[in-house]
Structure 1
Amino acid sequence: MDSALIVDDHPVVVGAVRMVLESLGYKPVHVASSGVDVVPMIRAHAPKLIVLDLKLTGFGGLEVLERIRTIGLDCKVVIFTSADPEHYLMRCRRAGAMAFVTKSAAMQQLQSAIKAVRSGYSFFPELPVNNAGQSDASRDERESIASLSTREMEIMIKLAQGDSNKRIAQAMSLSHKTISTYKTRLMLKLGVSSLVVLREFAKRNGLF
């Protein structure tokens, strides 16, 4: 019987996802609440499937995906998140995820995604392509976000949420100086003048 790993820090979500996985025959079902714990748990339990949230403590979900791919761990990943698919879907796909389901969808959609992935197929919703209703400023902001690397995206979100350079450095196993460099680069790339403006930028674009 195939095992699975849920990576999410919300107990209610974990309970609901566990029910879906167990109904599909996955057993045992392991749980990690922090991105830092994912790689060690994959190595310890060798799950065939991972249901991964993107909004995590420690490493974010994008960083976790990158690490799984870089190390070459053999597991299929389904993203199950409240993060805006417009900013994250293609990033997740490029990083090796096989499915993307938003938490606002019915649990049946998660079940369908898991079935598809187990059978070797991908499961991604179509994104709207009509930008007619967006202002030039809004399009510029979204293009700026799209230009960020995975690590830049993760650090930007942590900064916008109010984490200090020291705390981010500890969570991501990086030096304080490295985070300071990323912070300066992000300010220039996004055209923001302060952390307050950065927070407004991130919130306006649904990044947290």
Structure 2
Amino acid sequence: MANVIIADDHPFTLIGTKTFVESLGYPVIDLCNNGISAFNSIMSNRPGIAILDMSMPGMNGIEILEKLQQQRSVTKVVLLTMHKEVSIFTHAQKLGAKGYVLKEFATHELENCLMAIQKGECWFSPELTRMLVMDNTATPEDDKISTLTFTEKKILELVAAQYTSKEIGSLLFISEKTVETHRRNIIQKLSLPQEKNALLLWAVNNFGTK
């Protein structure tokens, strides 16, 4: 059985996942409650499998995947998440995620996912793969949004809710300066005019209701 690291910022979910994974016979060698410690643990312990929550302080699951890909890590990553957005799912696939399990179905799905990964296969929630097949109604706005990273989408969502850069930074555990850099990148990717409130208006009209 592969060694496993588990990361989740919710203590009950973290301990519950540990108990469940150990009951399947997998040795859990570390528990992490934020993205930075999870990434560092993966790099130092080199587990066979890392089960990561998508949304965590420090770094989210997608950002960890990006860094692991840059480092050519051999650890196989399973994202355990509540996010059902097809764009996030497909982005995780492109970054090399070997598993994508929805928390609401975790009791049934996680065991199958780990078994598949042990065999050298990928495993993704049937609910998500079904949604991917049915996702044939993309609009030009959807295409633009799909080019954004996970963090950029979260920032866009908060911009649509009319949070300031300082407030967004506090919510996402990043600096205001970093938020401003992300905002500039979003404006460039969405081909928006360099006008005051252009991003806010676009976010409210195209992203706030998604």
Asked if these proteins are the same fold (TM beyond 0.5), I'd say yes
Distance 1:29 1:158 in 2: 36
Distance in 2 separating the partners of 1:50 and 1:153: 24
Matched, 1:93 2:93: yes
Instruction: Calculate the aligned-residue CA RMSD, in Å.
Output: 3.3
Conserved 8 A contact 1:5-1:51: yes
Q: Match of 2:130?
A: 127
Q: Tell me if structure 2 keeps the 8 A contact 1:80–1:100.
A: yes
Q: Distance in 2 between matches of 1:199 and 1:114?
A: 40
TM-superposition CA deviations, 1:22-54 (whole Å, max 9, x none):
022222342112111122111332221111111
- Partners of 1:43 and 1:185 lie apart in 2 by 29
Q: How many residues in Structure 1 have an aligned counterpart in Structure 2?
A: 199
- The answer to whether 1:139 aligns with 2:139 is yes
State the alpha-carbon separation in 2 of the partners of residues 32 and 163 from structure 1: 30
Change (3 A) 1:24 1:64: same
- Secondary structure of the 1:79 match is strand
Q: Name stretches of at least 5 consecutive residues in structure 1 with no aligned partner.
A: none
- Aligned partners of 1:35 and 1:64 also within 8 Å: yes
- Identity, in percent, stands at 23
Map 1:94-113 onto structure 2 (within 5 A): 94-113=94-113
For structure 2, the 5+ residue unaligned runs are none
Q: Do the aligned partners of 2:54 and 2:60 also contact (CA within 8 Å) in 1?
A: yes
The normalised TM-score by structure 1 is 0.77
Deviation at 1:64, TM superposition (A): 0.5
Deviation at 1:67, TM superposition (A): 0.4
Q: Which has the higher contact order (CA 8 A, sep 6+)?
A: 1
Q: Does 1:164 align with 2:165?
A: yes
Q: 1:120 to 1:55 in 2, by over 3 A?
A: same
Amino acid in the other structure paired with 1:164: S
How many angstroms does 1:184 deviate by?
3.0
Q: Does 1:118 align with 2:118?
A: yes
Displacement of 1:95 in angstroms is 0.4
On the 8 A contact 1:32/1:38 being kept in 2, the answer is yes
